[in-house]
Amino acid sequence: MHNAFFIGITHVSTLWIVLETHHSTELATKNRLVKVECLFGVSVEIQIWINDCHLCKHWKLQRPNTQDQRPKTQDQTSMPSPRPAFLFDLDGTLVDSVYQHVLAWREALEAGGIRLAVWRIHRQIGMSGGLFVNALLRETGHTVSAEEAERLQQLHGEAFKRYVSQVRPLPGAKELLDYLTNANVPWAIATSGRLESASLSLRLLGIEHDVPIITRDLVRHAKPDPDLFLAAAQKLNVEINDSVVVGDSIWDLLAAQRARALSVGLLSGGYGREELERAGAYRVYNDPADLLLHLDEVGVRTSE
Amino acid sequence: MHNAFFIGITHVSTLWIVLETHHSTELATKNRLVKVECLFGVSVEIQIWINDCHLCKHWKLQRPNTQDQRPKTQDQTSMPSPRPAFLFDLDGTLVDSVYQHVLAWREALEAGGIRLAVWRIHRQIGMSGGLFVNALLRETGHTVSAEEAERLQQLHGEAFKRYVSQVRPLPGAKELLDYLTNANVPWAIATSGRLESASLSLRLLGIEHDVPIITRDLVRHAKPDPDLFLAAAQKLNVEINDSVVVGDSIWDLLAAQRARALSVGLLSGGYGREELERAGAYRVYNDPADLLLHLDEVGVRTSE
């Protein structure tokens, strides 16, 4: 028996429940056509009516025949918990440092003989240093050795020190972290920056030593690889698919997709709303203060 | 006799020709419904099938019963000329100075007791100084007197001097201007900046004294008011609706709409493509080098 029908989904959890309810054993997606085989032999085709549904992609990538490299600490077919953990990016998400990093990179690249317009550097900020240099070089047609790439990163670090006195916490950053701590919501920080430069930002936020911080030094690959967020979830002892990644750059959101976490984009890094939505953001807010006002939209029930 | 039909327009000049062909004497627009009365008594309704057609808006705003304040130097019902004039913004469009201006404004505002995140300043850059300060204050809830606003602008000018050694021409800027000059395409510069700061950028571009430059000092209102572009077209002795405004910020593109000019957005100021398209850009390119490669798309026939 086959039924074909069209549904318009306004609340994504609906689809999640439908799929869970049907105990699907097969899930094929092509052109947003999802086929679900039920335990009692009814086959259903669902043509998804929305443009980008994070949970659909999420589900598709989690189907049983997918090669899944994630560490498995719990039963992965379990429903998301009612109170998720938060994995925060740092620059542009909690501290207002993106534009200073961008100009520091411009200086470093020029000192290394590479001329690149500032907006192109901005679009790559938040990647791992190595991938960042590769991406910039792809745009310029240049090639550099590993030693030169390392030197560019050193030059950037030196230039950034001249800008760091201009860096401030983003509006609501401290309040958001305090709120989560008081509400017993687990949170951690996962940054593509190295410990040295991250320390300056952590001091600005008044972050204590007992908060889990994952820096570039602690994982093999940085964003857009998922390693930083996976390590942060592991350190919190929470499931990655019970976690919400909060970031300002498309690299945070792409890494969140690869880690199978839900993601929230913040405009405070200077990217456009549509760029963040296209990179997979479940929701986009202005800054940490705006996220704090809308925590109920991302699973934190403020009235409980 | 009345006919109602739907058309899908893929090439906007089609609509223009249709309207011209029918010698319309009445043009009513509501919800993109255009009614045309022909000389020989046939009435036609056209439901436009595209989302944003710059030329439709252009036509709608030019209908005979519209109050039109623009200076009239030619018959305004004439077709656009085959070789348009170009009216360039300066910061972020020809020189790579937006991020430096943004950080200089952050310093100036903080010195004036106003804390504002850098991305919010970026979103307002390119406006007239007065409107810029008003817009920022709207976001902070602050109010300032005219004297304080003037002082903030002075503080910005002083801070920018510390960043100006980092400013470079954008890729292809000089080549684009040289190409237009050699092809006898008229061009001018219209910037919300004052003559003092604009002079530094003009020197970087090697621009001679005989190029028409309209700065903030020369008009009553800066962008998003249309005055700068209207004055630039007048100085070139060209029709504003034969002109293409080239800018990197939404304020350039909004000012272009208000001036009834076609506009081209460049990503080189760090705004997202969708932001520029939504503000009315006819086309969006990366930077001046990319525009130079696509001049035929904006009416400059490179093969002639």
Task: List, in order, residues 6 or more apart from A160 with CB less than 8 Å away.
Answer: A100, A101, A104, A197
DSSP per-residue letters across A263-304: EEEEGGGS--HHHHHHTT-SEEESSHHHHHHTGGGGT--TT-
Q: Which DSSP state fits A80?
A: P
Buried-exposed string A211-220: b where 16+ CB fall within 10 A, e elsewhere: ebbbbbebbe
Could you tell me if A266 and A245 are in contact, meaning their C-beta atoms sit under 8 angstroms apart? Answer: no
The Cα A102–Cα A106 span in angstroms is 6
pLDDT one-digit tens code per residue, B161-205? 999 999 999 999 999 999 999 999 999 999 988 887 788 889 999
Q: Which of A103, A168, A268 sits opposite B99 (nearest CB)?
A: A103
Task: List, in order, residues 6 or more apart from A14 with CB less than 8 Å away.
Answer: none
pLDDT one-digit tens code per residue, A141-187? 777 788 888 898 899 989 999 999 999 999 999 999 999 999 999 99
Q: Which of B107, B115, B267 sits opposite A119 (nearest CB)?
A: B267
The DSSP bridge pattern shows strands A85-88 and A187-190 to be parallel
Mutate to test the interface with B, among A116, A119, A174, A284 (most CBs of B within 10 A): A119
Could you tell me if B93 and B170 are in contact, meaning their C-beta atoms sit under 8 angstroms apart? Answer: yes
Q: Which DSSP state fits A253?
A: H
DSSP per-residue letters across B102-127: HHHHHHHHHHTT----HHHHHHHTTS
The CATH H-level superfamily of A85-95+168-298 is HAD superfamily/HAD-like (3.40.50.1000)
The DSSP bridge pattern shows strands A27-30 and A33-37 to be antiparallel
- Residue at token pair 């304080």: B148
Burial of A304 (0-12, 13-18, 19+ CB in 10 A): exposed
The Cα B292–Cα B288 span in angstroms is 6
The Cα A241–Cα A272 span in angstroms is 26
**B186: closest CA of chain A, how far (Å):** 27
B61, B57, B25, B17: which is closest to B41 by C-alpha? B25
- Residue at token pair 């240093």: A129
The Cα B229–Cα B245 span in angstroms is 8
Dihedral (Cα; B93, B99, B102, B108), 10-degree rounding: -120
Please compute the mean of the pLDDT values over residues B85-106 and round it to a whole number. Answer: 96
Residue spans per domain, chain B: 3-62, 85-95+168-298, 98-166
CB–CB contact A119 B98 (8 Å): yes
**What are residue B221's phi and psi, to 5 degrees?**
-125, 140
The type of residue at B293 is: L
Buried-exposed string B200-221: b where 16+ CB fall within 10 A, e elsewhere: bbbebbebeeeebbbbbebbee
Q: Which of B96, B103, B163 sits opposite A117 (nearest CB)?
A: B96
A·B CB contacts under 8 A: 71
Determine the CATH number of domain B98-166.
Answer: 1.10.150.240
Would the ipTM clear 0.85, i.e. be above it?
no
The type of residue at B47 is: Q
B194, B259, B252: which is closest to B223 by C-alpha? B252
**B150: closest CA of chain A, how far (Å):** 23
The model's pTM: 0.73
pLDDT 10s per residue in chain A (304 long)?
333 322 333 222 223 223 322 323 223 232 233 333 333 333 333 333 222 333 433 333 233 333 344 444 444 445 555 579 999 999 999 999 999 999 999 999 999 988 999 999 998 887 766 677 777 777 777 777 888 888 988 999 899 999 999 999 999 999 999 999 999 999 999 998 888 778 888 999 998 778 899 998 888 888 889 999 999 999 999 999 999 999 999 999 999 999 999 999 999 999 999 999 999 999 999 999 999 999 999 989 766 5
The DSSP bridge pattern shows strands A243-247 and A85-88 to be parallel
**B170: closest CA of chain A, how far (Å):** 7
**A56: closest CA of chain B, how far (Å):** 25
CB–CB contact A273 B270 (8 Å): no
Helix or strand holding residue A112 (H, E) = none
Q: Which of B98, B268, B272 sits opposite A271 (nearest CB)?
A: B272
Buried-exposed string A173-184: b where 16+ CB fall within 10 A, e elsewhere: bbebbebbeeee
A30, A61, A24: which is closest to A261 by C-alpha? A61
DSSP per-residue letters across A157-187: HHHHHHHGGG-EEPTTHHHHHHHHHHTT--E
pLDDT one-digit tens code per residue, A281-298? 999 999 999 999 999 999
Which pair of structure tokens corresponds to residue A298?
């991302």
**What are residue A297's phi and psi, to 5 degrees?**
-75, -15
CB–CB contact A102 B99 (8 Å): yes
